[in-house]
Structure 1
Amino acid sequence: MTTTAPPTHERREAADLTQVTFHETTEVFPETSRQALVTHSLLQTQRLLRRWTRDPFTMLQAIVYPALMLIMFNAVLGISVTRATGINSVYGYAPMIALVGAMFGSIASGMQLKMEWRKGLLSRFWILPVHRASGLVSRLLAESVRIMLTTVLILLVGVALGFRFNQGVLAGIALLFVPLLMGIGFATMVTALSVTSAKLPLVELLSLICSLLMFFNSGFVPTAAYPTWLQGFVENQPMSTAIDAMKGLSLGGPVAEPLIKTALWSVGAIALFTWPAIRGYRKAAGTPA
């Protein structure tokens, strides 16, 4: 009786498997413990940030596109707005584009989340012995890091165009956290919409709405330049309140009122969309798209 030897490539794969070694586990936390939540969230945050930096679409949406928009707006409309108002238009455009970068970056990551759902990656992560909340927590942490980096880069471009922190260092530091405040609320909404339905283009429709809001805020042109019947909406929509707060922290002017309005918008979005995001994420992780 003769036996046939396995093919060469199969023998090689079997040999490779016998040589695989795993690192010895040094820390074992209960799956629902606080230590597991922190450790697993930081690990998945690192994964998301590394993935985003390797994705050209996300980098274009979050950094390249907003930076080019700031330069374009300043070149095309900057002189006219500056002459009409007597204030350098970059004090409105730089905050506006920083917010645009935060919002469109969240939309890009939301579309990636839908892709992970369709490919079954969320389901694979769900069956691993990791803290259940780490998936959503890590996304908000990664969004926070991305928003801060995007804001800094956009403001650096703004400084090259004439933007200055006239209210001092502390006000300048506070200014950096305004897009973060608004961005966390917006990211929570995007996450909820992303895991609500894999087939409905909810995130894509949100991108269209954000594009419209970009032309109806106090950073694009002063609120008084809009029709009277539209000024109330322009003044109180979330982008305008955040822009006015950032303008006050850099150029000078009211800060408390627009900052409170921005906080209310953000906290309201978090309160409204946190539970749908949790419920939708659980459903997306447990069922294929």
Structure 2
Amino acid sequence: MSTATSATRKVRFPAVHQRLAENSFAALLRHSLIHCKRLLFMWLRDSTTTVQAILYPALTLLMFWVVLGEQITNATRNGAPSVFGTTAMITLIAAMTGSLVSAIGLHAEASSGLLARFATLPIHRASGLIGRMLAEAIRMTITTVVIITVGVVLGFRFHQGPVAALALLTIPVIFGMAFAMFVTTLGTVKTKAPLVDIVSIVVTLLMFFNTGFVPVFAYPVWLQDTVANQPMSCAIDAMKGLSFGGPVAEPLLKTIIWSVGIMAIFALPAIRGYSRAANEGP
């Protein structure tokens, strides 16, 4: 074939078998799943995310059990062994720390202009944020299963049956999605404020003042109501009730109220922040 013939030959692109309207529900579903898959593969290849989301929480649970396990169990006055509280607490911490790493990545994508480049593509405008939330939910589920598996090795058991066990697995996801909405809002804000430091302070306060370490009566009287009703304590108490036994309805209801309330407060700022980051660019 001559050079002239090859130069004038038309390039044939593959035929479009299914054309979706950009704002259709089918496009939203398909494009959200693509964004979700992109993030999951990116996190899987990132050692920092793996360490923060899985390895570090699992090692923390092991260290708590080795160093403080017997002392915490004795402090419960014949209550639940410490592994039930610490396992529940670490699953929640893992959900939060993983979301923090994700928010840092989101901030980097916004700063680099990647979100702006996505906005130029013929994809559903809501798919980026929804895909990110789907990826967060999958990550939290995997992390919860891994940490509870470590807890089972240390003595954690599901004494309330399989239905309660399935309900228990959903609590860190519900709690974590609320926190993910919060940090996603922060991740889309163009500011020089130390994002990691701010969120780390929140996580630290929640981690050290909850019912996962010791029962609420071990805290000073003036602090007991605050500790008992903070969102992490409610989730921990619900998880302990669904595994070892004890009250479930009240702490579970409080967990749902906290989670839905946080998501309701930060959902609109997260949507606006994500849209602004995608449209304005770096």
TM-score by structure 2 length? 0.93
Residue 218 in structure 1 maps to residue 224 in structure 2: no
Query: How many Å separate the matches in 1 of 2:15 and 2:177?
Result: 37
Structure 1 position 203, deviation (Å): 4.5
Provide structure 2 residue ranges, at least 5 long, that are not aligned to the other structure: 1-5
Provide the residue aligned with 1:128 in structure 2: 121
- In 1, Cα distance between the equivalents of 2:216 and 2:208? 11
Output the CA distance in 1 between the equivalents of 2:253 and 2:60. Answer: 28
1:50 aligns with: 41
Return the offset for 1:204. 3.4
CA contact (8 A) 1:66 1:154 kept: yes
Distance in 2 (alpha carbons) for counterparts of 1:21 and 1:122: 30
The answer to whether residue 257 in structure 2 is matched with residue 264 in structure 1 is yes
Kindly tell me: are residues 104 and 26 of structure 1, through their superposed partners in 2, closer, same or farther at Cα, counting changes over 3 Å?
same
SS state at 2:155 partner: coil
User: Structure 1 residues 24 and 90, CA, compared in 2 at 3 Å: closer, same or farther?
Assistant: farther
Decide which of 63, 66, 75 is 1:72's aligned counterpart.
63
1:190 aligns with 2:188: no
Say whether the 8 Å CA contact 2:91–2:172 is kept in structure 1.
Answer: yes
Deviation per residue, 1:62-94 (Å, 9 max, x gap): 101100100011111101111222331000000
Instruction: Confirm whether residue 116 of structure 1 aligns to residue 109 of structure 2.
Output: yes
Distance 1:288 1:80, change over 3 A: same
Alignment equivalent of 1:204, drawn from 180, 197, 203:
197
Post-superposition offset of 1:197: 2.2
Deviation, structure 1 residue 208: 2.1
Contact 2:75–2:214 (CA<8 Å) still a contact in 1?
Answer: no
Letter in 1 for 2:22: E
Q: Distance in 2 between matches of 1:21 and 1:238?
A: 58
Whether the aligned pair in 2 keeps the contact of 1:118 and 1:198 (CA below 8 Å) is no
C-alpha offsets along residues 110-130 of structure 1, whole Å, 9 cap, x if unaligned?
Answer: 000001111110000011100
Q: Which amino acid aligns with 1:144?
A: A
Residues 203 and 134 (structure 1 numbering): CA distance in 2 closer, same or farther, change over 3 Å? farther
CA contact (8 A) 1:188 1:274 kept: yes
CA distance 1:21–1:264, shift in 2 (3 Å): farther
Contact kept? 1:114, 1:195, Cα under 8 Å: yes
Residues 1:104 and 1:21: Cα distance change in structure 2 (over 3 Å): farther
Matched to 2:278, the amino acid is A
Number of positions where the alignment pairs a residue of Structure 1 with one of Structure 2: 272
Residue 73 of structure 2 corresponds to residue 82 of structure 1: yes
Question: Is the alpha carbon distance of 1:22 and 1:244 closer, same or farther for their aligned partners in structure 2, counting shifts above 3 Å?
Answer: farther
- Paired with 1:257 and 1:153, the residues of 2 have a C-alpha distance of 27
Question: Structure 1 residues 82 and 22 mapped into 2: Cα distance closer, same or farther (>3 Å)?
Answer: farther
* Paired residues of 1:193 and 1:203 also in contact (CA < 8 A): no
Measure the CA separation in 1 of the matches of 2:156 and 2:12. Answer: 54
Q: Measure the CA separation in 2 of the matches of 1:48 and 1:22.
A: 29
Using structure 1 for the length normalisation, give the TM-score: 0.91
Q: What value does the CA root-mean-square deviation take over the aligned residues?
A: 1.6
| SS of residue matched to 1:26 | coil
The 2-side partners of 1:233 and 1:244 are apart by 14
- Letter in structure 2 aligned against 1:216: F
- CA shift at 1:282, angstroms? 1.1
Amino acid at match of 1:186: F
1:151 aligns with 144
Separation in 2, partners of 1:251, 1:279: 42
1:74 counterpart letter in structure 2: W
How far did residue 201 of structure 1 move?
2.2
Tell whether 2:225 aligns with 1:232: yes
Structure 2 residue 32 is matched with structure 1 residue 41: yes
